[in-house]
Structure 1
Amino acid sequence: MKVEKANGHSRQAMYRFLLAEVDHMKSEEPVMHNLLAHLAEASSLEQLLACQLSTILQTLGFEHDILADMFAELLLANPSITNAVVSDFEAVCARDPACASFLHALLNYKGFQALQAHRISHQLWNDGRTQLASWLANRVSVVLGPDIHPAARIGRGVLIDHGSGVVIGETVVIDDGVSIMQNVTLGGTGNETGDRHPKIAQGVMIGGVEGIWGSSGSKMTFAKPFIQECDPYCRHPICALWGPTHPALLAHA
């Protein structure tokens, strides 16, 4: 039985939903009891998330308990992060029909996991702990795949679907409600400093195998897919990448 999902959860409500899903999974799959035990023992959403991320990212020198304590302390001190996490939970369940539950995303979706770890590394970066933030970002890339610079600013309710091949550069800004598919690069041109990465507007969906490079000073926004052919010499970024007859998903603001 799938636990009912709803929109607009508070942190406490999301915590209760996840605990209910943990209990249900333990009864449905007893072999997973030990895997889920640390989640069942968590006393808050912050501790639950910290436990799961530390299980995934632990390594020699940064064992589970060290990471879990560090993550939980930072999350509890910055409730805006966990508010964003709740919105991300709702986004993945609303936009991905394969997502069976909130717990399913937490346990199995590396794009979701990487995004939540990025929220922690971003806070560390903002707190001036840039070396630790960079180490954590690299660890996330090694274990989960997405390569997200800890300085990148990412809004709430964001879906990183699959996560494979996703690269997000230092000065990227992603607004709320954005969906990013696999093999997407939000990169700089590599030959300038300062603000050099794309800005993605609210609600944009970026399709797989896309590269968006540099910062034009405007935001990339959604447009209706083209139903007619473009001019053969069109220099729109999508046409340049895919050819003039490919349905374009992005347009300049």
Structure 2
Amino acid sequence: MSVQHDSDKLWQTIRDEVREFSEREPTLASYYYANVLSHPSLGSALSFHLATRLGCDSVPEMTLSEVFTAAMADDPAILEAVVADIYAVYERDPACNHYVLPVLFFKGFQAVQAYRFAHWLWRKSRRSLALFLQNRISTTLDVDIHPAAQLGKGIMVDHATGVVIGETARVGDNVSLLHGVTLGGSGTGHRPRHPQVGDGVLISVGAKLLGNITIGEGAKIAGGSLVVSDVPPHVTVAGVPAKVVGKPAHYAPSLDMDHGM
């Protein structure tokens, strides 16, 4: 399910889109220039834009932008994941008809990318700054992802309000989550206590997954479900508590975004 994308081609497409947007809406021309056209690369633009969203008086935008840039220089996989996430939103969200939209306007995408920088900080044992970023992401974007959580690439978090992903959660590649989803913990120990989500899973609006449970690849979690036990691969579960009610039509329901049973 892993697809390699051309980041340079994507960056050129985004620049072309923004030039067209600027002509259509001159009021935003300065905004588009500051956030896209003045930058030499996608990584530079993303660092600047997220820093303007998350910076504050005590930790200014320029400082955060430098941290984000350093993270991508140290770990090229971060930018690879960013690119995969942009394509994921473009391909799965019918409301996204330009590649630049998630970068500038979709807070689910922005929250996941900011988490990626917080996760880098966590792995570098810069945990105070990682937790600061978690707090800023939660405060400004209403998405709470612990920096120790492990997220794959090709992630789409649609609308995103109220999404919570706990410390020991793992999320595979090409997963789609909607607003109000919780990957919550059970217990107080240091062992894994949050869900382990496989590749290609679709988790619909308001679903709550609790505890160290395994969600098999290609599974579909129906909206409003409460999941407290393992889910086999390639099944649909629904209800409180969730039970198997069918099978998804697609091998990776996260890709076709069909929320039917």
TM-score normalised according to structure 1 size: 0.85
Residues 1-253 of structure 1 aligned to structure 2 (within 5 Å) = 8-38=4-34, 39-216=36-213, 218-223=214-219, 238-241=238-241
SS of the residue corresponding to residue 240 of structure 1 reads: coil
RMSD of equivalent CA atoms:
2.5
Structure 1 residues 70, 245: closer, same or farther in 2, change over 3 A? closer
Q: Would you say the 8 A contact 1:111–1:163 is kept in 2? A: yes
Separation in 2, partners of 1:46, 1:215:
34
CA contact (8 A) 2:207 2:221 kept: no
Change (3 A) 1:245 1:44: closer
| C-alpha contact (below 8 Å) 2:203/2:221 kept by paired residues | no
- In structure 1, distance between residues paired with 2:101 and 2:202: 22
Q: Please give the TM-score of this superposition, normalised by the length of structure 2.
A: 0.82
What is the CA deviation profile of residues 144-190 of structure 1, one whole-angstrom value per residue up to 9, with x for unaligned ones?
01100000100010101111110000011100000001101001114
Pairwise CA distance, 1:9: 2.9
* Alpha-carbon distance in 1 for matches of 2:128, 2:160: 24
> Which whole-Å CA distance do the structure 2 matches of 1:168 and 1:224 have between them?
18
Give 1:239 shift: 2.6
Q: Specify the SS of the correspondent of 1:157.
A: coil
Q: 1:192 to 1:225 in 2, by over 3 A?
A: closer
Deviation at 1:77, TM superposition (A): 2.2
CA contact (8 A) 1:46 1:76 kept: no
Partners of 2:141 and 2:53 lie apart in 1 by: 9
**Distance in 2 of aligned mates of 1:29 and 1:129:** 41
The SS at the match of 2:148 is coil
Q: Which consecutive residues of structure 2, in runs of 5 or more, have no partner in the other structure?
A: 223-229, 232-236, 249-261
Shift of 1:248: 8.4
Deviates further, 174-183 or 70-79:
70-79
Residue identity (%): 35
Distance 1:223 1:115, change over 3 A: closer
Cα offsets for 1:65-109 (capped at 9, x unmatched) = 222122112212211100011000000000000012111111111
